[in-house]
Structure formats: structure tokens, C-alpha cells
Structure 1
Amino acid sequence: MIETAFAKINLALHVRRRREDGYHEIETIFAFAAHGDLIETVDGPAGLTITGPFAAALADGDPEDNLVMRAVRGVASLPGTGRPPAIRLDKRLPVAAGIGGGSADAAAAMRLLCGLWGIGPNDPRIVGRAAELGADVPACLLSVTARGDARGDELRPIEAPGLHGMPLLLVNPGIPLATGPVFAGWDGIDRGPLAEGDPLAAALAGRNDLEPPARALCPVIGDVVALLAAQPGTLLARMSGSGATCFALFDSDAARDAADRAVAAARPDWWRLATRLR
């Protein structure tokens, strides 16, 4: 069995206030790329094996404390489940990159086990376990275009036929960026709500309030966004999540592919993924 941990994109992300529980009240539009990490069952004793281009970034951590294994234990604790299988994570996305890597991996593991044990992924028990793992995990469990409020975990799926299949380019400058310091750097100013209605129009009119503090910690983010915005056919260029991955939406595959080549020529050391929105 195999599941894709689809890369998460925040088309816009408005931070409204800091909550008493330490989280922040946000309004965001989640979208998902067609590609991401892979989670699969393999032969062998129960546990987690990590392979892939970015496996080394997770090599120093305790596999049992990995969010995937926490997700596995959460699902396996439910009645009617069985002994957890051996799982392999093919880590294809950068770590600490603002595209939901760990959250998407955990969500994909939950979907995989739901399929294995005949549990609906919309089962309230599964949704509850997802929320316990992190604010982005419920959105990644759905992996559909959705409006996220509160911590980002109050979700409303959005009909977005105009976004489905839209050409997308992800670019990361190769610098991991932890979420905590970025949120801590937010200036506390509420710059207003995220518009309702058409998600692309709302994103174009919106912003990512985490981009300024992320740029303060990692100035090259500004270079990434500027390079993407300068490419012909770019509809929207912005940082995703808490960074440092940035994205651009394009009006055609040809424009995306030309931008991919331009970024590769200008900065061959940056990671890129030419894909499309689900």
C-alpha cells in the first residue's frame, strides 16, 4: 500500500492575533501540489524506515518520535485496528520548508492505515487524532483546497475548479526554517481578514503575514519571490507557510517550465519542483 504526502501550499496566510494557548489565530487558503513524499507499507518488523533525497535531514532524530510514528500509534490505538505494519517514508520534500512535510507525512500515514483497516478517513476519531498531532495535519489529511481558520484546523473545503490542475513551481533556497521563530517574529499587527469567495481572487488580494519575519531570518526568501514574480506568465508568487519554500502559479505549463529553467540557470543550488495543483 502506498500514499502520497501531498505538498501543502498556503495561497494566502493572514495572522490575526496570538491566542492564550500559544497558538496564533490565522486565516488561510490551503491548496496541495500533485506531488510530495511517499509513505508505503513494506515487509519487515513494525517501525519506520526513511529513505529519499532528504532522508539525511531526519537521520539524527528518534524514528519513534517522528510524526509519522506518532500518527501510526494514534490510529493503531483505536478499536478494530491491528498490529502496525513496517512503514517506509520516501522523503522527497525539503524539511522545515513551509510546505507541510511532517504534517503531510503523518496525514498520509493515517490515510494508509485507514485503508488497511477499513476506517473512513473522515471518521471523527481519525480527525481528532490528526488535530492532536498539529495544526496543519487535519488539512493535510483532506489534501483538498480548503479555507482554514482558528489554528488553521477549522476547515471548510472550497470548490475551486479554476485552481485544479493549475501549473505550480515550488522553489526552496536550501535553508531550513523552523516555524516557531517565524511566528515569534510576527509584529502583532492585525492587517485585516482574508476575503471570502473565489480562492484565487482571495489569494491575489491577500498576503502571507509570516513572510516579513521569515525574510528577517532568511533574507534570501526575498530573492526567491522576486525571481519567481519576474517570470513571464506568473499569476502569483509568494512564500508558503512559514517558509522558506516559495511558490508561483502560472497561466500555462509552458510558462511554468520556462520559469523552472530560468531558476535552474540562475540558482542551480536551489531545490525546485515543477508540478500542478491537485
Structure 2
Amino acid sequence: MPPIKVFAPAKVNLTLHVTGQRADGYHLLDSLVVFADVGDRLLVSLDEPVLTVSGPLAEGVPTDRRNLVLRAAELMGASARISLEKHLPAAAGIGGGSSDAAAVLRALQQLTGRAAPDAGLALGADVPVCMVAGAAVMRGIGEIVEPVPNLPALHAVLVNPRVEVPTGAVFKGLARKDNPPMEPLPAPGDLIAWLRRQRNDLEPPACKAQPVIAQVLQALEQTADCQLARMSGSGATCFGLYPDAGAAQRAAAVLADLGWWVEATQLS
């Protein structure tokens, strides 16, 4: 079969509530997840196992088994040649590695006719929702994924200050592990007001670990027409929401002067 081209979109946690912790240490989450129109690009074929990485953010990306895309091929029991074009920052709270792995799983499902075991959960909590690659509520340790149809598209700016945040340290820094879950999803016209009442419980400990995240959030809040500024995942990427694409693009132009990774995007 010819190689398959796949897109690995950035994952954005519009909300992220930590609602408990299991006896085995895994945290329980309640999160509304959407995906951006910016992301990595991959080419996957059944061939000798080789991974090549290119693109503007390729520097430092491992090409050995530390990269989830190779472990995704192993999970599928496939020998795959993978070309990965990196456009998303690594370890950034927007699921770059998880979305790449999910894209490889989707490609290999087409190439082999086999299903991905456990929707890729063995590769990480974000992989099952990245397999859906559309608006969804993610619960449990990532194994419960419920697609959310008809969620309106959102205009946003993604900002990463080019620092990594150790996920383990962020979860360890939580003031409490049994926070309230999300409110029931609202009617489409009430989405922004509803989002303002929700949280990312990992934001305070992430800001403590990397104070620049608070600076990013403040910078987003100060841009014209910003409706909401919040961190995604365990950081350090933050997002601002805007009423239209023009407002998002103007905000991105302002923020680009600060030396951070900045992308205006549509979330859906």
C-alpha cells in the first residue's frame, strides 16, 4: 500500500478538573478537549522501521524509542517507516507527542486493518482523545472519551514561552486532588460564560514551577477582545479565546514580538 499522510493536531484542554486519585497513583480527570488547525504532519508506510524528523521544531526531538510514534508502531505490531514534520513544541501541554502517536495508530489501522489496542491508552492518557481528534469530554485516567457534537468553533491564540514543565511536579504540587468536576455542558451560545466558570486545576502549580506561565496568561488577558485566557494541559502552552479570526490574528501579531511560540488558530 502507498504511504498514508496524517495530520496530528494540537490538543487544547479548554478545562481540566482533577477530581481524584486512584490507589495506583493515577489522577482522575474531567476535561473538555478540542483540537486546533495547527499541528504536526506525518507520512507512514509499512516498511523497515525508520523514523526521520524534520520541520521548524525538529531540534531535540528523539528518533529512537523515546519517541511515542515508534512505540505506537510497536503497539500495533507493525514495522513502519515514519516521517514526522514537527510544528508543535514538545512537552507543551498540547499533546504533541500523544497526537503524533494517535496519528500513527490511525494510519496503521488503515494500513493493517487492525484496531489499536485500548485506543492507545498504554501510550499515555491523552492518546485515546487524540485518536478522536475532535471535541470531546475526557474522563477517568483518559480511557473515557465522549465526543461532543455541535460544539461551536472557537478562535484562539496559542502561546508557549519555550519552557518545559515537568508533569509529575505539577501534579505533585496540587493543593488538593478531589476537586469538583465540570458543570454540565451548556447550550452552544453560553459556551464562553460556561468556560469562565470552569478551571484548569493544574494551572496554579504549573505557574509556581514556571512563573513565566503567569506572564503569558497576563499578556493574553491584556490583548484586545480576549474573552478568556487559560493554560492547556499541564503547561506551559496557554490559550486566549477571541470573538473572531481577525481579533485572534491581531492578538497573535502583538504577542509574537515577545519571543514566544505564537499561533493564531481555530479550535473545533
TM over 0.5: yes
Counterpart among 126, 132, 139 of residue 142 in structure 1: 132
Corresponding residue for residue 92 of structure 2: 97
> Equivalent of 1:35, from 11, 35, 38?
38
**Corresponding residue for 2:23?**
20
Tell me, in whole angstroms, the C-alpha distance in 1 between the residues paired with 2:235 and 2:254.
Answer: 21
Deviations 1:137-178 (A, max 9, x none): 00000011111111132111112342x2x2121000010112
Give the structure 1 partner of residue 173 of structure 2: 185
Partners of 1:189 and 1:41 lie apart in 2 by 40
Per the TM alignment, residue 43 of structure 1 is displaced from its structure 2 partner at its CA by 9.6
Q: Secondary structure at the match of 1:63?
A: coil
- Residue 172 of structure 1 corresponds to 160
Q: Structure 1 223/38 Cα, relative in aligned 2: closer, same or farther at 3 Å?
A: same
Contact 2:94–2:233 (Cα < 8 Å) also in 1 = yes
TM-score by length of 1: 0.88
Per the alignment, in what secondary structure is the counterpart of residue 183 of structure 2? Answer: coil
CA-based RMSD of the aligned residues comes to 1.8
User: C-alpha separation between the residues in 2 aligned to 1:112 and 1:202?
Assistant: 36
Give the SS at the match of 1:89: strand
Following TM superposition, by how much is the alpha carbon of 1:191 offset from its aligned partner in structure 2, in angstroms? Answer: 3.6
Compute the TM-score of the two structures, normalised by the length of structure 2: 0.91
- Determine the structure 1 residue equivalent to 2:49: 46
**CA offsets 1:213-242 (integer angstroms, 9 cap, x no match):** 000010011111111112222222100000
* Distance in 2, Cα, partners of 1:69 & 1:128: 17
Q: Deviations over 1:37-78 (max 9, x none)?
A: 11113697322111122222224xx61332101111111x2x
Instruction: Tell me, yes or no, if structure 1 residue 84 matches structure 2 residue 79.
Output: yes
CA contact (8 A) 1:18 1:188 kept: no
Residue 257 of structure 1: CA displacement? Answer: 0.8
Mapping of 1:1-278 within 5 angstroms? 1-41=4-44, 45-59=48-62, 63-75=64-76, 77=77, 84-119=79-114, 125-126=115-116, 128-162=118-152, 164=153, 166-188=154-176, 190-198=178-186, 200=191, 201-265=193-257, 267=258, 269-278=259-268
SS at match of 2:15: strand
1:9·1:32 contact (CA, 8 Å) conserved in 2?
A: yes
C-alpha distance in 2 between matches for 1:153 and 1:32: 18
Q: Distance in 2 between matches of 1:44 and 1:145?
A: 33
Preserved contact between residue 196 and residue 202 of structure 1 (Cα < 8 Å)? no
Q: Is the deviation greater in 24-33 or in 12-21?
A: 12-21
- Aligned identity (percent) is 41
Contact in 2 for aligned 1:4/1:35 (Cα 8 Å): no
Runs (4+) of structure 1 exceeding 3 A deviation are: 42-45
Tell me the matched-pair count: 261
Give ranges in structure 2 of 5+ residues lacking alignment. none
CA distance in 2, matches of 1:43, 1:17: 41
Q: What displacement does 1:127 show?
A: 5.1
